[in-house]
Structure 1
């Protein structure tokens, strides 16, 4: 259960090579809230291990209109005795073309705490970072070059939702850059085509399927060990996420939504 919440927040993290800033049609709006149930493979069974919430709200940054992106996750109370997780991720991004402005990760996983902050400065083309952990309580600060095409975990998720997959062929890669733990990684998503995806409830949806190259580290071994199915509509909401982690497998299923920008995709059977 150790990395369930954080692994899910990497659901849309997309290669080696030059990253791209692609034109976008926004798939979300202020007031949108999405909930997920997260299941973990424990031996031969799947258990309801955690829940995750994503939300978008209006915000102000240096006097300008912006979006406040939120991602919150926690282990289910009945599993807190095994490994208690309470994670929150907050990001501020521009409304037009979604450029990150500020990011804060505040996580507590089994008593191990991390506070990770980034300030993105387009004028100076730098990212100022500040990281504190339980193992290293002294604040570590540094400045990283910013090329205007680097995303934090949350803005990467919403940026990926804006991608138009129609120009791509099956197995084609879509690259972009992500900053994690004070380092910039060149990653990608690989378009796998369209598929009818069945939810645990039996409902079937038209979906877009892709895999994601993951950052090698304490959670993942690296490689394309994550598969994502998103609704084949203008909202592009993740329906299901399946990933191999170092301590098993994790799956996340869409639970409910509120305040979507476009009409919600209906099951095929309706």
Structure 2
């Protein structure tokens, strides 16, 4: 997991063995678009390293009324000579309960390439997976069984926005299942309560705060080293994400939004 987009999507790990299904999807609508600036701690300074975009559109998929979720991440052109990132994620899920139907990850990060596709069959409790990365060079095709609610890395962020944090206590873990690189993992986020957050433009917002236990890999050492702040309103938009990586820190800040279902995000000090 090397990408800015994976950082924001919070690839996290737990020993929990169950997942929560979504009763109704309410936090977003077709036409929503969200942009983030990504900053990297280089020595004693922070540099503008990249940007990330998420969008939602209406779609039809095998007879279902669906949403098409899009994610795009890239390094800033001035840093491409150091490490070029071009990541594209697409996911399709049902409109009412956000049941995943299809997922495609096509990423290029330096010399590392990934092209993964999943087709979800809830009735057969099977995911048809095509998994490729440039380290292994060969495409792997397999069927992945599952018997509970499950999410891909893009639909997972929209699932999290629909959680009702009022029903959780501080420090409580919220588990769910995620498929990454053709493998199903049991995951969680830890609810940390509510907090006032000041953004770089000095505007202050009421937020919900949680942490994530990161998967050890090429960027992360593992451990609960990611913190996320989302708006404490019906939109539940992530405002800030920060994470410790093997060399320094990365932060992502909300840059702009449009088409939010419940109107613009309102700061405490407009």
Band the TM-score falls in, shorter-chain normalisation = over 0.9
1:22, 1:32 → 2: CA distance?
20
Who is 1:66 aligned against?
66
Who is 1:8 aligned against?
7
Match of 1:156, SS state, is helix
Structure-2-length-normalised TM-score: 0.95
2:12, 2:255 → 1: CA distance?
21
- Once the two structures are superposed, the pairs formed by residues 190-229 of structure 1 within 5 Å of their partners are 190-229=190-229
For the pair 1:99 / 2:120, whether they are aligned, the reply is no
Who is 1:117 aligned against?
117
For the pair 1:258 / 2:258, whether they are aligned, the reply is yes
8 Å contact kept, 1:12–1:160 = no
- Once the two structures are superposed, the pairs formed by residues 1-270 of structure 1 within 5 Å of their partners are 3-11=2-10, 15-17=14-16, 18-270=18-270
8 Å contact kept, 2:11–2:215 = no
1:22, 1:112 → 2: CA distance?
34
Q: 1:180 to 1:38 in 2, by over 3 A?
A: same
Once the two structures are superposed, residues 231-264 of structure 1 have per-residue CA deviations (whole angstroms, 9 ceiling, x without a partner) of 0000000000001122321100000000000022
8 Å contact kept, 1:185–1:215 = no
1:150, 1:84 → 2: CA distance?
31
Once the two structures are superposed, residues 159-178 of structure 1 have per-residue CA deviations (whole angstroms, 9 ceiling, x without a partner) of 00000100111001110011
Q: 1:46 to 1:3 in 2, by over 3 A?
A: farther
Once the two structures are superposed, residues 192-245 of structure 1 have per-residue CA deviations (whole angstroms, 9 ceiling, x without a partner) of 010000001101000000011222222322221110000000000000000112
8 Å contact kept, 1:7–1:219 = no
Segments of 5+ residues of structure 2 without an aligned counterpart are none
How far off is 1:132 after superposition? 1.6
2:36, 2:137 → 1: CA distance?
32
Segments of 5+ residues of structure 1 without an aligned counterpart are none
1:163, 1:29 → 2: CA distance?
16
Report the count of equivalent residues: 269
8 Å contact kept, 2:92–2:101 = yes
Once the two structures are superposed, residues 41-90 of structure 1 have per-residue CA deviations (whole angstroms, 9 ceiling, x without a partner) of 11111100000000000111112210000100000000001000000010
Structure-1-length-normalised TM-score: 0.95
1:15, 1:239 → 2: CA distance?
24
1:255, 1:177 → 2: CA distance?
29
1:218, 1:244 → 2: CA distance?
13
Q: 1:173 to 1:74 in 2, by over 3 A?
A: same
